[in-house]
Structure 1
Amino acid sequence: MSADVAITFDSETGRGDWQITGMGNLLLAPPMVTAVYVSLFTDRRAGPDDVLEPGETDRRGWWGEGLDNKPIGSRLWLLRRAKHLPETLKRARDYIREALAWMIEDELAAKVDVVAEWQTRSRIAAVITIHRVNGTQETVTASWAWQGV
């Protein structure tokens, strides 16, 4: 089984990092886990209809999107101060599906299922099942906290 560099995501700070093992090597993870974490926790550029926080003008986004005009990342960052409402959970699911759509477009996955739920008042957890084209499936879990109420 192949491996990729593992991204250790800290849901409290909203930051990911690589981790060094005791032997001085980078911690490894299955490639699908790394692909999902990069897709979810890289800030996708806000769309023209997305409402930013008051006083915010930065629509974010990754500079590499300009190279092939293919968006990368998710708009989960827009939920940073969202309230604990059913609409917030729905938006999170939609943003996750949007962020992982490239897997279907690139024929890495036949479909992607997303189940998101409130883990705490200020944390959403998602279980993402990737149905591979070859008939296998992989499940990746992720959770994140924000400053909403």
Structure 2
Amino acid sequence: MSDIRTLWNPDTLHAEWLLNGSVLDTGRDLETAFVISLMTDALADENDVLPDPTDDDRRGWWADWQAADIWGAPPIGSKLWLLRREKWTEAVRLRAEDYVRTGLAWFLDEKIGTRLDVSAVRAEIGVIEVTVTAYRGPEQLVALRFRTLWD
């Protein structure tokens, strides 16, 4: 069964399901999996600094609870949300790239592909642009660009 095609909308900061005529579009499963992996909030570790010091919500997807024990599934999501209130520095840029690589580690772990190229740049004040290109051998499987990952 194919996934429902999901596209990240940087203007609304939400993912949207796409239509093919009057039915939900299916296809581009890998692209959809990447969008879900990166735009779902991963559970913050106990020692992660949360964006709002008055809020102790470490987020995470509810279905990750015991997912590894029940069917050996890795946790889903990324920690990009932790950068929401960060000031732009080289360290923040590197953390953004690391959060993307960690959020997409399943792609390499499951041997779906052989390489991920990840780049984060400051597009403008308050906007980080992340580019992800995934490969299987020399073949490019998917190339995505996310802008305004958070505000």
When normalised by structure 1's length, the TM-score is 0.85
Provide the secondary structure at the position in 2 that maps to 1:5: coil
Give the letter aligned to residue 47 of structure 1. Answer: D
Alpha-carbon RMSD across the aligned residues, in angstroms, is 2.0
What is the letter of the counterpart of residue 24 of structure 2? L
Q: Determine the C-alpha separation between the residues in 1 that align with 2:37 and 2:83.
A: 16
Task: Look up the match of 1:9.
Answer: 8
The aligned residue for residue 144 of structure 2 is: 141
Task: State TM-score, norm by structure 2.
Answer: 0.84
Query: CA offset at residue 8 of structure 1?
Result: 2.4
Find the partner of 1:123 among 100, 124, 127.
127
SS in 2 for 1:119: strand
Contact 2:7 / 2:32 at 8 angstroms: preserved in 1?
no
Q: What whole-Å deviation, never above 9, does each CA across 1:75-99 have from its counterpart, x for those lacking one?
A: 0011111112222111110000000
Does the alignment pair 1:106 with 2:110?
Answer: yes
Gaps of 5+ in 1: none
Distance 1:77 1:119, change over 3 A: same
User: 1:71 pairs with 69, 75, 80, which one?
Assistant: 75
- Cα drift, residue 143 of structure 1: 1.8
Distance 1:29 1:118 in 2: 31
Count residues in correspondence: 144
- Structure 1: distance between partners of 2:33 and 2:81: 18
Where 1:54 maps in the other structure, the secondary structure is: coil
2:45 aligned partner, one-letter code = G
Distance 2:123 2:35 in 1: 18
Gaps spanning 5+ residues in structure 2: where?
69-73
Q: Is the 8 A contact 1:130 1:138 kept in 2?
A: yes
Q: Distance in 2 between matches of 1:39 and 1:47?
A: 17
The match for 2:40 is 42
- SS at structure 1 position matched to 2:24: coil
Q: Deviations over 1:13-33 (max 9, x none)?
A: 321121334x21223441121
Q: Note closer, same or farther for the CA distance 1:87–1:12 as it changes in structure 2 (3 Å cut).
A: farther
CA drift of 1:3 comes to 6.5
Moved over 4 A (4+): none
Q: Tell me the amino acid that sits aligned with residue 115 of structure 1.
A: S
Letter in 2 for 1:117: V
